[in-house]
Amino acid sequence: MKIRNGFSLRPLGNEFILLAESVELVDFNKMLTLNESAAYLYNHVVGKEFDEAELVRLLLEEYEVSEELATADVKKLVESWQSAGILA
């Protein structure tokens, strides 16, 4: 999988939001927020082909979590990215 082109990650307080660059109207009521770790993953895989295993590896590299937890979280994250339509 790959992250679609045309998004930009912008800081919003201590989180990040994903904005579609081409859209004229930015709706703050429908917005994908990414916390720090999700933003870390986003920044490392944007523009590249990646899979869930790659995300898990990245998480384990940066954070002290068990592999099970990382795998479970990555699964949910990918689901949320998929339903938000940012994955190609």
Partner 1 sequence: MYQKPQLKHIENEVLFPLVKQLLLEGRDATLTPQGNSMQPFIRGGVDTVVLRKMPDVREGDIVLFCLPEEKFILHRLIRVEGEELTFMGDGNLRGEEHCTKADVLGTVVLIRSPKGRHKPTHRWWRLWQWLLPVRWLLLKVDRHAFRHEKFRFYRKWFK
Instruction: List contacts with partner 1 (CB under 8 A).
Output: 10, 12-13, 17, 19, 23-29, 33, 35, 37-38, 59, 73, 76-77, 80
Report, in Å, the least distance between residue 2 CB and partner 1: 20
CB closer to partner 1 out of 26 and 49: 26
Cα→Cα distances 7→3, 12, 27, 46, Å: 9, 15, 14, 10
- Whichever of 13 and 48 has its CB closer to partner 1, that residue is 13
Query: What is the rounded distance in angstroms from the CA atom of residue 83 to the CA atom of residue 72?
Result: 17
DSSP character at residue 62: H
